[in-house]
């Protein structure tokens, strides 16, 4: 299958050692290039109360990867997270990985693969999480520290999941405004982890499909619809505390969150043959203004109780915005950070293989994402145009102190 070939090619590219710069090439201009990158705008601090890449204004590019752990040693897992955290701190600051001396040896591969050499950080954030299966490994001894909210997602309506695109022990989410910067980040982490982890699946994303800041305009998804108008915004501290940040369970999760990912294939050819009226009634918004049906402005409240002249609800009972709205779900909301993707052509259908890589952060996946999807998967008119083919859930620990590492409270 084409998908398998892509995965193998991606894994080979990420796992291969980079072509080394000669010592002379490295020495000439290294200090200046690194200083220029670090001094430029667009460096997001790695350390803080929360991991970056959650409340951070959504960047334009994504590389998300899930890894399987190849060891039963807690000490090896700790060393991996120490090394990954150190590398992430350097890369988000616009620096090369490793020390100056460590990159000089012409006879050894350089510590950094080099494709981001001299580039600005581009608002790079790197976010880490742990999957539920990692707590089930007897050798790691982590069962007692497993949060009650971290469970594998149950079978959900509309699932057509590919196991090779689902699950994983550890996730890495790299977001930035430069595609080469995110590729560089995941590629280098994969190199560092060789022998301890193996990449299970990965997803490149372009074009954010939501906004997490009031300063960002609502983007459009591949259906051409404005997406994420009602998303939680980072400036709304009360909403973040209520719906996103964890303050219960084991201490290592305080200030963290839970992330659900879904690879959603969009049937673009079917959508493109649908009338404008059908498209708008499926979503519940005007295509070009983003306004709710029956309203004028994008941010006008949904007129859920209003009926038209024919007596039918202005916002159809099976449209996406009604079924997903907090008003119809006891106030439940999630923080979305999804991206569009395209992976070439589905050879079996001769159609574009493209869609939405859905990412959502929340306090409790069962009470938030799962509850929403159980309703959407059965009743949503949008199901005619989409299918869920990949799925995963991870516990994203709280922030990192200077000199510390992600998961220190869990693995220390």
Least confident of 111-115, 130-134, 382-386: 111-115
At residue 41, the pLDDT reads 60
Here the tokens at position 72 are 């039963």
Distance CA 165, CA 44 (A): 29
At residue 105, the pLDDT reads 67
Q: Which residue has the tokens 């899930």?
A: 66
At residue 13, the pLDDT reads 37
At residue 28, the pLDDT reads 39
Rounded to 5°, angle at Cα 266 from 263 and 269: 155
Is a pLDDT exceeding 80 seen at residue 112?
yes
Note the pLDDT tens digit of each residue in 219-258. Answer: 999 999 999 899 999 999 999 999 999 999 999 999 999 9
Q: What does DSSP assign to residue 366? A: I
Name the maximum alpha-carbon separation found in the chain. Answer: 78
At residue 114, the pLDDT reads 93
Cβ atoms of residues 357 and 264 within 8 Å? yes
Q: What percent of the chain has pLDDT over 70?
A: 88
Cβ atoms of residues 232 and 240 within 8 Å? yes
Average pLDDT, the chain: 90
Cβ atoms of residues 257 and 361 within 8 Å? yes
At residue 102, the pLDDT reads 47
Domain hosting 91: range is 2-400+407-411
Short-list 391, 375, 393, CA closest to 383? 375
DSSP labels for 246-263? --SSSGGGTT-EEEEEEE
What's the full length of the chain, in residues? 412
At residue 23, the pLDDT reads 35
At residue 104, the pLDDT reads 60
pTM of this prediction exceeds 0.75: yes
Is a pLDDT exceeding 90 seen at residue 333?
yes
Note the pLDDT tens digit of each residue in 293-313. Answer: 999 999 999 999 999 999 999
Note the pLDDT tens digit of each residue in 6-41. Answer: 443 333 333 333 333 333 333 334 444 444 444 446
Distance CA 275, CA 279 (A): 6
Here the tokens at position 177 are 């405004």
Mean pLDDT of 135-151: 96
Domains contained in the chain, number: 1
Note the pLDDT tens digit of each residue in 356-381. Answer: 999 999 999 999 999 999 999 999 99
């Amino acid at each position: 299958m084409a998908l398998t070939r892509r995965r193998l090619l991606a894994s080979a590219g990420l796992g291969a050692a980079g072509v080394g710069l000669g010592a002379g090439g490295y020495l000439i201009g290294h200090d200046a290039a690194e200083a220029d990158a670090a001094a430029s705008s667009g460096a997001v601090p790695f350390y803080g109360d929360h991991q970056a890449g959650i409340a951070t204004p959504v960047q334009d590019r994504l590389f998300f990867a899930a890894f399987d752990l190849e060891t039963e040693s807690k000490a090896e897992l700790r060393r991996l997270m120490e090394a990954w955290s150190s590398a992430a701190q350097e890369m988000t600051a616009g620096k090369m990985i490793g020390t100056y001396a460590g990159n000089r040896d012409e006879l050894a591969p350089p510590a950094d693969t080099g494709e981001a050499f001299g580039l600005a950080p581009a608002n790079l954030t790197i976010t880490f999480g742990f999957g539920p299966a990692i707590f089930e490994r007897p050798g790691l001894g982590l069962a007692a520290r497993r949060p009650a909210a971290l469970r594998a997602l149950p079978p959900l309506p509309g699932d057509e999941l590919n196991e090779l695109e689902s699950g994983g022990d550890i996730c890495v989410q790299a977001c930035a405004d430069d595609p080469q910067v995110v590729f560089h980040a995941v590629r280098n982490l994969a190199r560092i982890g060789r022998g301890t982890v193996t990449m299970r699946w990965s997803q490149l994303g372009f074009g954010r499909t939501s906004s997490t800041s009031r300063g960002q305009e609502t983007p459009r998804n591949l259906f051409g619809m404005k997406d994420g108008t009602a998303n939680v915004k980072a400036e709304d501290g009360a909403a973040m505390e209520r719906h996103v940040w964890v303050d219960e369970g084991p201490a290592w999760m305080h200030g963290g969150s839970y992330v659900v990912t879904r690879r959603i294939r969009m049937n673009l050819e079917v959508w493109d043959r649908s009338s404008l009226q059908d498209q708008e009634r499926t979503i519940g918004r005007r295509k070009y203004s983003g306004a709710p049906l029956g309203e004028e402005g994008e941010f006008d409240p949904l007129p859920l109780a209003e009926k038209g002249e024919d007596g039918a609800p202005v916002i159809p009972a099976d449209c996406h915005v009604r079924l997903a709205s907090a008003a119809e779900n006891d106030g439940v909301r999630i923080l979305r950070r999804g991206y569009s993707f395209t992976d070439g052509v589905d050879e079996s259908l001769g159609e574009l293989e493209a869609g939405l890589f859905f990412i959502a952060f929340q306090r409790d996946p069962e009470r938030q994402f799962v509850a929403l999807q159980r309703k959407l998967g059965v009743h949503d008119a949008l199901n005619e145009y989409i299918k869920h083919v990949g799925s995963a859930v991870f516990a994203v620990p709280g922030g990192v102190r200077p000199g510390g590492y992600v998961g220190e409270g869990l693995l220390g």
